[in-house]
Amino acid sequence: MLNGPEMTPWAEAALFAASRAEHAAEVIRPALARGADVVCDRFVDSSLAYQGIARGLGLDAVLDLNMTVLEGLLPDRTFVVALDAATAVARLEGEPDRIERENRAFHDEVSRAYEQLAERFPERVELLDGTRPPEEIAADVRRRLGL
């Protein structure tokens, strides 16, 4: 999907939601049932930021879609490693995918979208300073989780 053809924002949102629903059913829910902790590098908040806000579909509309397919499953915590768009793009390695190739204005909007998510869901979405060394960020996450 990330290396395929251009698509409409709703097609993109629906495909991400479908993939997420399958991952939740096949991997996340069984792990939670076993009592395991689950860490994902992207989940529903990514779609809220990218498709809901940055693509203009509406945060609530994309949240409703995902809550339907995920049967209400939300992460307990989302840590956003926040960087300005220029720094994030400069850190990309390899050939950029379809979304990474978007223009600067889009990436700036994604950054602002994550700030909006942290304001709207302060009980579970936290912004972390992504300019710090990875070891510091990891230690910060462990501290915030009480580990």
* Total tally of structural domains belonging to the chain: 1
Report the CATH number at residue 33. Answer: 3.40.50.300
Which of 113, 120, 110, 10 shows the shortest CA–CA distance to 61?
A: 10
Distance between CA atoms of residues 144 and 130, nearest Å: 16
Residue 4 lies in a domain: no
Ramachandran angles phi, psi of 78, nearest 5° = -125, 120
What domain range includes position 102? 9-144
Res 85: pLDDT: 80
Residue 3 lies in a domain: no
Tell whether the model's pLDDT for residue 2 goes beyond 80. Answer: no
Say what the pTM is.
Answer: 0.91
pLDDT tens per residue across span 8-67: 999 999 999 999 999 999 999 999 999 999 999 999 999 999 999 999 999 999 999 999
Question: Percentage of the chain surpassing pLDDT 70?
Answer: 100
Residue 28 lies in a domain: yes
Residue 126 lies in a domain: yes
